[in-house]
Amino acid sequence: MRDDGIRVSVVVPGVIDTPFFGRRGRPYGRKRPAPIPAARVAAAIVSALEHDRAAVYVPRWLRLPARIHGAAPGAFRALAARFGDPG
């Protein structure tokens, strides 16, 4: 679609500091990963568009789990089961 002037940027955010968790009735109770400010994610979206980036991870360390998921889905599932959402 690039020939038609259409470009796509994927933004993969971590936990964003918004009222979501409180509104769902179960606050975010983990210390890590710490929620990131919504303004930081918004700035990453603007930057991705301005610089024609295909993929942006906020925070950057999220790139590693994404690569593990793509390269070794079984290992990713095992790690997610151990370190993922506590419930």
In a structure prediction context, what are the per-residue pLDDT tens digits for the chain, which is 87 residues long? Answer: 778 888 889 999 999 999 988 898 888 888 888 899 999 999 999 999 999 999 999 999 999 988 888 899 998 888 888 876 544
Res 5: pLDDT: 84
Report the candidate in 41, 17, 14 with the shortest Cα–Cα distance to residue 27: 17
Res 31: pLDDT: 82
Provide the whole-model pTM. Answer: 0.73
d(C-alpha 46, C-alpha 4), whole Å: 21
Res 85: pLDDT: 55
